[in-house]
Structure 1
Amino acid sequence: MRQIPKVELHLHHEGAAPPSFIRGLAGEKGVDLSGIFREDGSYAFRDFVHFLSVYEAATSVLTSPEDYARLTRAVLEESAAHGVVYSETFLSPDFCGGGDVAAWREYLLAIREAADGAERDLGITLRGIVTCIRHFGPEAAKPIAICAAETAGDWLTGFGMAGDEMKGQPSDFIWAFDCAREAGLRLTVHAGEWGGAASVRDALAALRPDRIGHGVQAIDDLALVDDLAEQGIVLECCPGSNVALGVYPTWSAHPIQRLRARGVKVTVSTDDPPFFHTTMTAEYERLAASFGWGEEDFAEINATAIDAAFCDAATKDTIRKKLGDRT
């Protein structure tokens, strides 16, 4: 499974930071983050809301463009080790310059330079998706959308929203999404992870995204499932994350196979891999064990993912060649 070339569309940049990297950076800066780690060195959290606070605490030691360059290299080394040849990562100017466009440009340049180096050295291609943070509120999302619009291009290709799905309504964020859309950015939004099927419907109606992050609770509304299939909306599924956080009790209970069988376009990603003790290799192994997926199934998943990627046509053609006969 490790050797299969893979495409990953749903990866939070800070959430992919190895715990050892964050501990090391905290040590360099004299910051005590011992409370966010277990005795075995992994991240410690009780539930989704606590996970968000631990995530933000870990991110607090990332305070400069250089920190983000180092983080980017660490994340891409880990992804490449598990066969990922193309990845899209969620980046938030909230954490990279506090929503100031000039500061955000400096962070983005550092991230991109590190990504270019990893592509040269490791053969993995990265593209960026700016995300506003839902629980920070709609007013806070506006400068983040402006940062995205001002830096949209061949590398920064998307805009989305992450954070606590239970805070506010998708319609609260129409201004931010319209701003990004007008700048030519492709759109994705987290929904249907915690907010039920209705949250997917609301996100589609208000924000008109190209993709839905997670979206798995759509399975509880089969009419919605059929709408997703008919409209070709792609779901960025993260089964390991959903099981680790208790959205579903076991892998066999996860609806990814039922969604796929009903015609929904699904992809596979890790979300925040070290938090959830997963990798792309582990996701594939567990999908194979739980649903009997084999080489043809993974080829279809990766073909769906590169078709849905927010990069340009030339990049897609390059990645398809890396995927080879499997797609």
Structure 2
Amino acid sequence: MLFEKAFQMAKKDGLHVTMHCDVDQKDAADHIHEAIFTVLDGHGTERIDHGLNALDRPELLQGLEERGIPLTLCPHAYHRRQATDVLFPKLRKLWELEGVKWCVNSDDPTYMHNVWIDGAMEKVYRYCGMSKTDMVRLSRNAVEISWADEDLKKLLLQELERFGRENCQSGEECN
């Protein structure tokens, strides 16, 4: 809530409001609660960067779903601090929640062993047991929750659809 006035000014000026709620930090779930239910006079932020600790409290997952607040997650950054068998089941659980939308981002790649989005996506594909269909959907999520203008989003989504048609194994739907 330290930035409430700045958030309100940004919103008034037509800017998007994203809150950074880092993973496994002190009071992480409380910060996510603020982002969903308190900021902007209780309307909540438009997107949360990180926010994986929403899994810690059912009401946070419900709030994300009901308010349509997506998450941008950085699996490689979290993998530096969490074991594979701890982190990736969390991501898979979040993936299986139909109403919570998230995408893969990279977090300060030059400080994270030079792992960019492609490397983070590869980890999710491998350790979460994702299908190619899942990866296309994950990429679609990234476009849909970006702040790009609608014309650019439409072009990118068409390109993803074309990519999915051309690159999925026979029998696997990519749409």
Pairwise same-fold verdict (TM > 0.5):
yes
| Residue number among 156, 159, 162 corresponding to 1:322 in the alignment | 159
TM-score (norm 1): 0.45
CA contact under 8 A between 2:91 and 2:128: conserved in structure 1?
no
Q: Does 1:225 align with 2:96?
A: no
* 1:251 alignment partner in structure 2: 84
**RMSD of aligned C-alpha atoms?**
1.6
* 2:103 alignment partner in structure 1: 267
TM-score (norm 2): 0.81
CA contact under 8 A between 1:211 and 1:233: conserved in structure 2?
yes
Once residues 228 and 285 of structure 1 are traced to their aligned partners in structure 2, the CA distance between those partners, rounded to angstroms, is 26
User: How far has the Cα of 1:227 moved from its partner?
Assistant: 1.8
User: How far has the Cα of 1:210 moved from its partner?
Assistant: 0.7
Greater relative contact order (CA < 8 Å, ≥ 6 in sequence): 1
- Among all aligned residue pairs of Structure 1 and Structure 2, give the percentage whose two residues are the same amino acid: 26
Structure 2 letter corresponding to 1:230: E
Moved over 2 A (4+): 324-327
* 1:189 alignment partner in structure 2: 19
The structure number with the bigger radius of gyration is: 1
Stretches of structure 2 lacking an aligned partner (at least 5 in a row): 165-174
* 1:240 alignment partner in structure 2: 76
Point out the structure with the larger strand share.
Answer: 1
DSSP 3-state at the match of 2:63: helix
DSSP 3-state at the match of 1:189: strand
Q: Residue by residue, what CA displacement relative to the aligned partner does 1:210-261 show, whole Å, maximum 9, x if unpaired?
A: 10000001111022112212221100010111122x2xx2233122221121
Structure 1 letter corresponding to 2:84: W
* 1:211 alignment partner in structure 2: 47
Stretches of structure 1 lacking an aligned partner (at least 5 in a row): 1-170
Once residues 122 and 7 of structure 2 are traced to their aligned partners in structure 1, the CA distance between those partners, rounded to angstroms, is 36
CA contact under 8 A between 1:256 and 1:266: conserved in structure 2?
no
Alignment of structure 1 residues 270-309 onto 2, 5 Å: 270-277=106-113, 278-309=115-146
